[in-house]
Amino acid sequence: MIRTFRLVGLDEGGVQETSKAKRLVCAIKPEGKVAIWGSAKSHGNIDAVLKKGIPCTVECDCIDPAEWAKAKGHVAWVPEERALCVLVSYFRME
């Protein structure tokens, strides 16, 4: 499902990596967490968020998190093969 989130902080201090996966867990506004998943070979979604910086707004194709993650406040996961787009905010200064 396609959803839009305002990423406002890093939950685990940055990218966490195991032998099987990378993840970037972000705090969202108004509340909750979104985990953006990657691997050693495929981490473009993570890189896109880190390049833009936090805070930022993303539109992504996400899935429901595992039950254990829901208990920790996760509302969505973005698997590495799913689309994620960092949205650009344009405003006019007068």
Encode 36-50: b = buried (16+ Cβ within 10 Å), e = exposed: bbbeeeebebbeebb
Residue among 44, 47, 54 at smallest CA distance from 11: 54
- pLDDT(92) > 60: no
> Looking at residues 23-31, what average pLDDT do you find?
96
- pLDDT(93) > 80: no
- pLDDT(25) > 90: yes
Q: What is the pTM of this model?
A: 0.91
CA distance 69 to 37: 13
User: How is residue 35 written in tokens?
Assistant: 């985990």
Could you give the dihedral angle defined by the CA atoms of residues 8, 15, 87 and 55, in that order, rounded to the nearest 10 degrees? 20
Domain map of the chain by residue range? 2-87
For 42-79, the pLDDT digits (tens) are 999 999 999 999 999 999 999 999 999 999 999 999 99
CA distance 91 to 67: 39
